[in-house]
Structure 1
Amino acid sequence: MSTELDKTFDPAAIEAKWYSHWEENGLFRPERPDAVPFTIVNPPPNVTGSLHIGHALDNTLQDIVVRYERLRGKDALWVVGTDHAGIATQMVVERQLEERQDKRTNYSREDFVAKVWKWKAESGGQITRQLRRLGCSMDWSREQFTMDPHFTRAVVKVFVDLYNQGLIYRDKRLVNWDPKLKTAISDLEVETRETQGGFWHYKYPLADGAMLDSGADHIVVATTRPETMLADMAVAVHPEDERYRSVIGKDILQPITGRRLKVVADEHADPELGSGAVKVTPGHDFNDFEVGKRAGIRPAEMLNMFDAEARVVQTADGLIPQEFVGLDRFDARKLVVERMKEQGFLIPHVDKDGNEHDAEPRTIQTPYGDRGGVVIEPWLTDQWYVDAATLAQPPMQAVRDGRIEIVPKTWEKTFFNWMENIQPWCVSRQLWWGHRIPAWYDEDGKVYVAETEEEAQALAGDKALSRDPDVLDTWFSSALWPFATLGWPDTANPPRDGEVAARSADAGGSQPGEATAESPLHHPAGGPPPRAGEDLLSRHYPNDLLISGFDILFFWDARMAMQGMHFMGEVPWKRLYLHGLVRAPDGQKMSKSKGNVVDPLGLIDKYGADALRFFMAAMESQGRDIKMDDRRVEGYRNFATKLWNATRFCQANGIGASNSIKAPPARLAANQWIIGEIAQTVTKLDAAMADLRFDAAANTIYHFTWDRFCDWYLELIKPVFQGDEESPAAVETRAVAGWALDQILVMLHPFMPFITEELWHAQGDRSYELILAKWPEPEASVDAAATDAIDWVIQLTTATRAARSELGISPGAKLAAFCPAPSPLAQRVVERSAAAIERLARLTPIAFGEAPAGAAMQVAAGGDVFIVPLEGVIDTEAEKARLSKARDASVKERDSLGKRLGNPAFVEKAKPEAIEKARADHAHHSAEVERLEAALARLG
């Protein structure tokens, strides 16, 4: 029994209803123990986050794939969870304390962490609720968190194992240091901004009477950061720069500190830039760090002139004048400039008007911390590092031999470029919130790395130990996502839901994972628990697919490949799909500072989740970014409305749910045609999904639904229902139409899950939800005769309607038509379907033979040309103009394509399918020119 649909499609009325139904009934991962597994993991969003447009794209694409594979009968597992987001989460809680005139340092580490757990329990679920609004069919019964006890155990084990294998070590190197947050941060957390600064030129005097060949007793150096000269350790020149060859190895003096430096030869110095000489501050510049190492300066010997807040401290050699010690870095800059100028070592910049200035104005690309909001300082400090170069080798080989397929393939070059030039990975952070590094030190500074303090103490004997205060970079823990979420290092299903809880407000020093009724770690929706004792690891690792933004290819994707292959001995996923960015309508990158950020939840409120999802899929073309376009989203809302109204038409004509996977038997041409069209659509859709061509898949089902089913098939079958409702034709047509609509709902479901589920049930009583339906298997061959006949009628109707529209002829006016040389197809269709042609094309009568003399227009269907007399119907001069315009357009296209095909570069470099299309288009336009010129000749 079908349910009568409302006249108006209202997305909001159905979305919350169906999502709750799916989740509460465990339909996102139905019981399919014998089915082929399919696994995908979501890039875990920050627990502090809210849904942005990039999340909407990323998760829509994942959901399309998961729903598609579920419909194909697979045991589809979509692992979901959130990242503890060390810096972001700690900042949120510290900001709350600041609002109460409180601060983190007023608490013990344990008490502050307890406050973070309390915040997580109360406020950490915003983004997971928003993912539900988008329609993401994740297995929420197994929701993960990177600080879950089982996950933490995996993180600790990985660290200890890598340390014992010599792949994690402690080292002194430069890091991106955030002086506000007082922690090292990753490159991804650094944003480059253009700032207005200066370029200062200074004279450094040569020592011991040394002179350049030019007779100068000094070398000119230039810098945008004068304060760093307080820690200069060398001046570098190019080894082949004739100007400086005589002083390489000589001493030079830093004027303020009086420090003696060496002039060193290094290819980093570019003879073409400035004076060709560069000051070298290895403790405060990434390039200088490498120059210093090549010059024989060990990191332990490199001078450090800043504390954690970027205030000047005395260097190890004690040569910084006391007036600088304690100054903020930018105050120190001003004083350095002042003192160098006073001592006569500043070389002023002379502008075009002859005026002197201390520095040349420069626009400088300046690194800022994306969260701290202050200028990042390269800082020499002891940190923990992973030997990424060693771990990168197996993933590179896996990509080379095809065990990991990167889609689009063009990203392989970037992948190899990063991996082949990879640097040691700094994995320690100076925070309180996160996975504590499992390392302890004795009084002599010797380190003991172990999974527990008891094990570390056993290694140290009776020596007193203190634990390393740092935590691990969140990218380190999220790199374990494909296997730690499946229970590794165990094989049993890790505990979930009520078995795991977070710290409560007064949890004190308790360990995460102790149950408290007031603060559950996760918020289950009441659905069934995960399957007890299930070996997820062996069944679902490796994952089948990872969908990711290209911007985290290095930070997350590559590191998952490293850790997965090292610890599991197998790739983490078989395919890696990299999508682009969603940009503002003008193509600019979205940012809050530009005010061009689009809120996906606002779009869902306005147009519905289905419309936003379909927009994302239809616009996702491999290797290209997406330009946001509200009108397109609105257009897909209109598409949903079209389908809604088509279903209402079906209901009004007694067309209900089908009980068949296989296509029903059909004798009528229209029914045979739609069955064949569905068979072809399923084939095209499967091919597009196999290639991860989301745009092709979306456009395939869109055009079939709108153009073939709604616009033509429903129009073709209308006359069937105007006679005897129980006639064989009517019975057959209701069966085929109901089956065809069901196939549309199933094929469209991955893209538009809400409206399709609603219409699925509105069409009749169902024994199962659409989310668990079976993917179409028409088991029907295409009836060539029926397809040709209906396509011929559609072409004739379309051509006639277009000509009428161009000439201003009333759509309802009936026109006579003549076909001088009909094909067998034309004769057969006109004889059998004259009534349909009259109703759709408004052509009657149709005669086979020559048309009477006089003005006429031409329309074509296939190879058949129809002459439609226009005497008394239309202004023939206007028709001539129309034909001339069309002919000129085809001449232009024909000649343009001819030039392209005649260009050897195009033929040699273009894809075969592009060349074939160009040739087909050229032939088409050549034929069109001939036809249109003949038509013009007929009009006289």
Structure 2
Amino acid sequence: MTNLNLIQSALAKLETAYNPADVESGMYQTWEESGYFKPTYDKPKSFSIALPPPNVTGSLHMGHGFNNAIMDTLTRYHRMMGYNTLWQPGTDHAGIATQMVVERKLGLEGIKRHDLGREKFLEKVWEWKNESGGNITRQIRRLGSSVDWSRERFTMDSGLSKAVQDVFIKLYDDGLIYRGKRLVNWDVKLETALSDLEVENVEEKGSLWHFNYYFTDKTLTTKDGKNYLTVATTRPETLLGDTAVAVNPKDERYVHLIGKTVTLPITGREVPIIADDYVDAKFGTGCVKITPAHDFNDYEVGKRHNLPLINIFDKNANILAQMHVYQNLQQREANLEATPTAYQGLNRFVARKQLIEQAQNENWLEKIEPHELKVPKGDRSNEVVEPYLTDQWYVAIEQLAKPAIEAVEDGRIEFAPAQYKNMYMAWMRDIQDWCISRQLWWGHRIPAWYDKDGNIYVAKDEQAVREKYQLGADIELSQDEDVLDTWFSSGLWTFSTLDWGNDSDDGRALATFHPTSVLVTGFDIIFFWVARMIMLTMHFVKNADGTPQVPFKTVYVHGLVRDAQGQKMSKSKGNVLDPIDLIDGIDLESLVAKRTTGLMNPKDAPKIEKSTRKEFENGLDAYGTDALRFTFTSLASTGRDINFDLKRVEGNRNFCNKIWNATRFVLMNCVDKQGNPLAIDKDNNQALWELPEHWIVSRLNTTIKQIHDNMASYRFDLASQAIYEFIWNEYCDWYVELAKSALNDASVSDERKAQIRYVLLNVLETALRFTHPIMPYLTESLWQIIAPIVDKKQADSIMISDFPLANDSQINAQAESDMAWLQELIGAVRNIRGEMKLGNAVKLPVLLQNITDGEKAQLSRIENQFKTLAKVESLEILGDDDTPPLSSQALIGALKVLVPMKGLIDPTAELNRLAKAVEKLAKQADTLRGKLSNESFVAKAPASVVESEKAKLAELDSQLAEMDKQMGQLKAL
């Protein structure tokens, strides 16, 4: 195609306004079908990221949008830098979330999972997954994420399931997995243990009940003469499981009572008074009831003092008819203690009410106080979570933790920002054994079998169990009903997705892309996911020399995405934004419906609807993917939480439009009025360059260096800022304007104009390439037009073209200094023009005074551009001792930039303006004079403050004197 046809075709593609929907339509599909996302194995360097697997049940939230923007920026950057590049996608089976969704769906048909049985229910789950599980992957595509879909994985895939099973069996055989009795977070509705991450602590207004526990020895008294201790609790029903009362060992009020006993109300159980530093002597009465089976802190106190553990609840938090008593955690079968008849079978909250009434009637309730507390609730069920003593499967962590700590200490794994290393180390040095079992049906079923005596056998299936343990066919076996915590399978994510343990794999993916280069994640799952990945990977994946291999080299930790006011986004607050809605737009009614549907508390709906209608009167505009991505990266500042403001997205859509219009302008200046192509000097004859060309190319190369440095240090905010500053302020606002004036000047040679066109196009093409990792759609669209014109179309797509490298020889310090001074001069004249309310068409006489020899040399290099852009009619240099005419002035350092007023302004209007300014400054000066004449102020204020006030007054007096002089000159006009 000829240049003429190229340019005319390009102009036809560019509408007058940027429309993101038109630009993005079909482009992702083209990328994917062309295989651009797939890795190659022919480069000396490799870069890989494992996508943190989103729940298969879910839809994208702003956190997903944020970390996808970061990961795709890194992936596209390294792909363009010539790395073997893999971004590994996949989804998590999300045990509890998925099971709840399917149970709720069946419930609408009047079916419970137990009606179906385990196998039939799991068939329903797989059906639902196959129907609805692709929603999240469709949304990831809408974000422009260049993941390799040919390698998509799911944590319940056969390959990953085999890896999970192999890891469990090996850890068990190594003595690192065991079954034991511990206290866990228990969801009474879902009847399963929960991880801490699945528990939300919700602030509520509650009560603190104070109960009197009487001494068993009737002769005992406290130092103030009472024959009882008063304890306070927010959960009165747990009194039934108390096994001690604790006081601080240094609390003189109770030292004489340590080792004595009290008798519990209702149960009549005699429990000891113990001393423990856990008790805060200054809080409440300084006495704490200890219920080791129903409180995590009490559980630790109980272990230190070898207290019995009494479980009072069944799995639904109803009071047991017979309480289960364990003298220690090694006791397999519980002793039974009869529960008082009146409480047997009661729901926990009914029991609480009844116990309080009994305490009031029997006069051992001291008082009730209002109390704000954090109530733990299941994030899926919204039920109050109970600490519950059950048999669960655990990973013994200590042996696994040691190499994981060393890898971070010696720098094999680095955290960015570095402060998160301290958070990681604090968790790892105080780590507890990990509960990995869940009482669900959906998930990786634990490969353990039991005989009738409760003996445990672990292998991949029943046949393997019999072979491994040499069991006869007469021994009846039953498989464990529990499944594994989803964090267990996702803990294997970096290597299990690369075909680890797959006998049919050639090992190329694992050898090329593991360890992965970087993990992008939020700080809230450093312990739950990051630490566990490090421990499990280092135990199972080895380097060629047999040393443990880390899962990733860097952990980039980002903050949470909050709303514009800094509040956490949540459905209950009605401030959730969907990134897809920001990309495509959404009308008000649809937005209201989304925000008010599926609320845990439907009573919140009217308030949320009202706030949504007020904030989004017209719904949400379509901002496009590129504007949203650029907003995310520009806010990605060193791990801090992000306050997401829609005005930033709107501003970045305007930035996209700026790039679009700049491209259109450049192309229009490559053809004449008849549409014929104008000369472009592709030989790049730099001898014809003037200051604007030397400057813009220097700034281009400086910007490229900044972007590389920013990418290496994970400062995506600074990279975005460098791109924005260069394209909008330097290229569009300055170089394009300078080029326009030269191209429209008949006195400029055709050869020079051809060189200007070359620089315009070449710099734009380069800028599109370094912007591409953040803004993939817009840059691809425009690059396909620009690159052929300047013979830079080295590939079929910008995403597989070369990322720009800086040319140090083109970084020109003098040109940058000259241009910076030129910009200051132009800015000074424009400010004067604005102050004097002179139109842009008026050409101005300009005087310069106090100019140095160096500035004179600079002036000789920039004079033509200064006169053109500042619309200067004449330029004169005054001597330092010359008295200038009455002028409006601006200062650039010591240099005075003066525009004489005569003939340009109305003296009367200017006198009125100055009179008002003098009145304002005089009031400020009088206030300062009064303060400084106050002997008390001068005596008491710090000397630095007094000197500062004196300096302010001197400055005001100087300004008033100058204005008085100007007014005298004006009156003489």
TM interval, short-chain normalised: 0.7 to 0.9
Q: Give the equivalent residue in structure 2 for 1:290.
A: 300
Q: Say whether 1:324 aligns with 2:366.
A: no
Question: How far off its partner does 1:454 sit?
Answer: 1.9
Is 2:187–2:386's contact at 8 Å kept on the other side of the alignment? Answer: yes
Q: Say whether 1:484 aligns with 2:496.
A: yes
Question: How far off its partner does 1:711 sit?
Answer: 0.6
Cα pair distance change 1:789/1:201, threshold 3 Å: closer
Alignment gaps of 5+ in structure 1? 350-358, 494-532, 890-924
Supply the distance in 2 between the matched residues of 1:719 and 1:246 (Cα, whole angstroms). Answer: 94
Q: Give the equivalent residue in structure 1 for 2:365.
A: 346
Q: Give the equivalent residue in structure 2 for 1:217.
A: 227
Is 1:433–1:471's contact at 8 Å kept on the other side of the alignment? Answer: yes
Supply the distance in 2 between the matched residues of 1:660 and 1:151 (Cα, whole angstroms). Answer: 57
Q: Give the equivalent residue in structure 1 for 2:524.
A: 551
Identity across the alignment (%):
44
Supply the distance in 2 between the matched residues of 1:18 and 1:935 (Cα, whole angstroms). Answer: 63
Q: Deviations over 1:448-468 (max 9, x none)?
A: 112332221221512221111
Q: Give the equivalent residue in structure 2 for 1:267.
A: 277
Question: How far off its partner does 1:129 sit?
Answer: 0.8
Q: Give the equivalent residue in structure 2 for 1:584.
A: 563
Q: Say whether 1:716 aligns with 2:716.
A: no
Q: Give the equivalent residue in structure 1 for 2:88.
A: 79
Cα pair distance change 1:665/1:774, threshold 3 Å: farther
Cα pair distance change 1:578/1:650, threshold 3 Å: same
Is 1:807–1:879's contact at 8 Å kept on the other side of the alignment? Answer: no
Query: Aligned to 1:201, what secondary structure does the other structure show?
Result: strand
1:311 to 318, 326, 330: 318
Q: Say whether 1:538 aligns with 2:560.
A: no
Question: How far off its partner does 1:193 sit?
Answer: 1.2
Question: How far off its partner does 1:328 sit?
Answer: 0.6
Q: Say whether 1:593 aligns with 2:602.
A: no
Q: Give the equivalent residue in structure 2 for 1:496.
A: none
Question: How far off its partner does 1:933 sit?
Answer: 9.7
Q: Give the equivalent residue in structure 1 for 2:60.
A: 51
Query: Aligned to 2:319, what secondary structure does the other structure show?
Result: coil
Q: Give the equivalent residue in structure 2 for 1:625.
A: 641
Which runs of structure 2 are paired with 1:404-553 in the superposition (5 Å)? 404-458=413-467, 459=469, 461-462=471-472, 463-490=475-502, 493=505, 533=506, 535-553=508-526
Question: How far off its partner does 1:403 sit?
Answer: 1.4
Is 2:222–2:228's contact at 8 Å kept on the other side of the alignment? Answer: no
Question: How far off its partner does 1:832 sit?
Answer: 5.9
Q: Give the equivalent residue in structure 1 for 2:600.
A: none
Supply the distance in 1 between the matched residues of 2:210 and 2:678 (Cα, whole angstroms). Answer: 81
Q: Give the equivalent residue in structure 2 for 1:25.
A: 34
Cα pair distance change 1:22/1:832, threshold 3 Å: same
- Write the letter of the residue equivalent to 2:885: G
Q: Deviations over 1:585-635 (max 9, x none)?
A: 111111111111122112112111111111111111113211111111100
- Write the letter of the residue equivalent to 1:379: Y
Q: Which runs of 4+ in 1 moved over 6 A?
A: 655-664, 879-889, 928-938
Q: Which has the higher contact order (CA 8 A, sep 6+)?
A: 1
Query: Aligned to 1:100, what secondary structure does the other structure show?
Result: coil
Supply the distance in 2 between the matched residues of 1:756 and 1:888 (Cα, whole angstroms). Answer: 55
Is 1:792–1:862's contact at 8 Å kept on the other side of the alignment? Answer: no
Q: Say whether 1:754 aligns with 2:782.
A: no
Q: Give the equivalent residue in structure 2 for 1:8.
A: 17
Q: Say whether 1:637 aligns with 2:653.
A: yes
Cα pair distance change 1:109/1:839, threshold 3 Å: same
Q: Give the equivalent residue in structure 1 for 2:868.
A: 839
RMSD: 3.0
Question: How far off its partner does 1:187 sit?
Answer: 0.5
Q: Say whether 1:693 aligns with 2:715.
A: yes
Give me the TM-score of the superposition, normalised by structure 2: 0.83
Q: Deviations over 1:511-537 (max 9, x none)?
A: xxxxxxxxxxxxxxxxxxxxxx56111
Is 1:657–1:742's contact at 8 Å kept on the other side of the alignment? Answer: no
Q: Give the equivalent residue in structure 2 for 1:741.
A: 764
- Write the letter of the residue equivalent to 1:165: D
Cα pair distance change 1:561/1:213, threshold 3 Å: same
Give me the TM-score of the superposition, normalised by structure 1: 0.86
Cα pair distance change 1:406/1:833, threshold 3 Å: closer
Q: Give the equivalent residue in structure 2 for 1:773.
A: 801
Which stretch has the larger CA shift, 79-88 or 877-886? 877-886
Question: How far off its partner does 1:883 sit?
Answer: 11
Q: Give the equivalent residue in structure 1 for 2:552.
A: 573
Cα pair distance change 1:482/1:845, threshold 3 Å: same
Cα pair distance change 1:734/1:170, threshold 3 Å: same
Which runs of structure 2 are paired with 1:194-273 in the superposition (5 Å)? 194-214=203-223, 215-273=225-283
Which stretch has the larger CA shift, 760-769 or 858-867? 858-867
Which stretch has the larger CA shift, 660-669 or 177-186? 660-669
1:382 to 364, 375, 391: 391
Query: Aligned to 1:757, what secondary structure does the other structure show?
Result: helix
Q: Say whether 1:174 aligns with 2:147.
A: no
Q: Deviations over 1:35-89 (max 9, x none)?
A: 4100111111100111111111111111111111111111111111111000000
- Write the letter of the residue equivalent to 2:733: D
Supply the distance in 1 between the matched residues of 2:261 and 2:83 (Cα, whole angstroms). Answer: 72
Question: How far off its partner does 1:673 sit?
Answer: 1.6
Q: Deviations over 1:891-912 (max 9, x none)?
A: xxxxxxxxxxxxxxxxxxxxxx
Supply the distance in 1 between the matched residues of 2:712 and 2:923 (Cα, whole angstroms). Answer: 41
Is 1:793–1:861's contact at 8 Å kept on the other side of the alignment? Answer: no
Is 1:197–1:363's contact at 8 Å kept on the other side of the alignment? Answer: yes
Q: Say whether 1:865 aligns with 2:896.
A: yes
Q: Say whether 1:675 aligns with 2:697.
A: yes
Supply the distance in 2 between the matched residues of 1:641 and 1:818 (Cα, whole angstroms). Answer: 39
Query: Aligned to 1:315, what secondary structure does the other structure show?
Result: strand
Supply the distance in 2 between the matched residues of 1:237 and 1:661 (Cα, whole angstroms). Answer: 86
Supply the distance in 2 between the matched residues of 1:556 and 1:742 (Cα, whole angstroms). Answer: 41
Supply the distance in 1 between the matched residues of 2:574 and 2:436 (Cα, whole angstroms). Answer: 34
- Write the letter of the residue equivalent to 1:75: N
Supply the distance in 1 between the matched residues of 2:683 and 2:182 (Cα, whole angstroms). Answer: 66
Q: Deviations over 1:567-590 (max 9, x none)?
A: 221221111111111111111111
Query: Aligned to 1:571, what secondary structure does the other structure show?
Result: coil
Question: How far off its partner does 1:778 sit?
Answer: 4.7
Residue-pair matches, total: 854
Which stretch has the larger CA shift, 720-729 or 184-193? 720-729
Q: Say whether 1:608 aligns with 2:618.
A: no
Question: How far off its partner does 1:221 sit?
Answer: 2.0
Is 1:480–1:560's contact at 8 Å kept on the other side of the alignment? Answer: yes
Cα pair distance change 1:389/1:814, threshold 3 Å: same
Is 1:491–1:536's contact at 8 Å kept on the other side of the alignment? Answer: no
Question: How far off its partner does 1:327 sit?
Answer: 1.0
Is 1:859–1:865's contact at 8 Å kept on the other side of the alignment? Answer: yes
Which stretch has the larger CA shift, 262-271 or 113-122? 262-271
Is 2:246–2:288's contact at 8 Å kept on the other side of the alignment? Answer: yes
Q: Give the equivalent residue in structure 2 for 1:705.
A: 727
